[in-house]
Structure 1
């Protein structure tokens, strides 16, 4: 956490979630030259830059703001004193400007360079308001935001192909369906006592957790088996899920059309055992 705080203190920047009035003033904050949401792999480098076009407000006294949000905490940055943590909620009254002075043309300026960004989501804001009183003034506030997501996913590929004709008996298929239905009813009974409407997809829950069940062992495997009502052995269960998915996707449009889209997400650069990869790609054929 000290490393993260150090990174943040180098420059977490910016502002409040309010609308601005003066369109002529254009602050801009970028990460690696990009605006909006920027996805990077964990451990990658990032350069944060700011730019300001004052428009017809050049020379106007203003508060300049640099604010950031990361790991559930809000921060503002001031020249000379660095980063200040103001807590887990955005209290506008606690914010202080990074600088107070006249609006001027500011070419793109790199304010933060991190060679290796820890996994996480970082929201950065840069803006100004033209009521130079050390407080956020929504009426004249304009700001720019960039969000950096470190640890963005990448596809897990394989040379395996899905088995489109799984060798599954009707008895195994019936047993899988019975177990899925039992889980669905048990789950509904567990949540039905709450007020309001209930919407859930028991098949997607069973399908998604079956992917992780493929890698479970010992106590975890037994607990998942009992809760999800997986009564088939592992090798038969996943083949049965594959057969059921194929059957559900084969019905004609005039009957009904069910699109099943479940996926499993793993840690970047984490080694998947060949046996698990074989189940996921060849038997279940999920998109990883």
Structure 2
């Protein structure tokens, strides 16, 4: 784990800021990337990797680790930033993002990147894979958790709900699903493409322990993750995280289209400067 200059571990707020900063730096390498999602999900990733997850940075395939599945493969830039911050990946590789022979391709691939558990580019399959992994760990009598980070757009996929029903049937209390609800997808707001509300009621009807929180509120996320891990009932758990696309960079937050937010060549530096002004202690 990385520590500060004085040997003290950074706060979760600072971890989230670092993840945003690293994401923007990677985006600047290629002058493109799903940066809106990376900025929005940074708080969830910070709480995941620096509060909840059990892992060893120097041994990404350690059998006792919690598995963190990125169902949304185009969020890879965000997960890379978290893996860089967690020292699973070395800092110098940040500059190789999206280049030939890089271990950081623009869409996440498990065969390329240490710490990337699955190749999740085809949306709607992550939760099904998570169910299979959770069943496997159960049969091994493992104490590890499976986390599946998915998007609100994937709630429109039938395979997601088949997996949700299976997880409840098998009483997978080692499975925690994280839904990034930013209400954006390629064709417009998710709630206008195929509305999934009332979302909490649906997950509960499928037998899941359900929480919905502000996904950019560190304190609320910590409490939700703790409840999910400590729950005694034999059921899977879901945390629906309402997030703000492009969080932390107001001029990008204000863009009408943020799914693949347009960032001009000269705006990457501006975005980094704006973020620097909001740097936590």
Instruction: Please identify which structure carries the higher strand content.
Output: 1
Q: TM-score under structure 2 normalisation?
A: 0.22
Which of the pair has more CA radius of gyration? 1
Q: TM-score under structure 1 normalisation?
A: 0.22
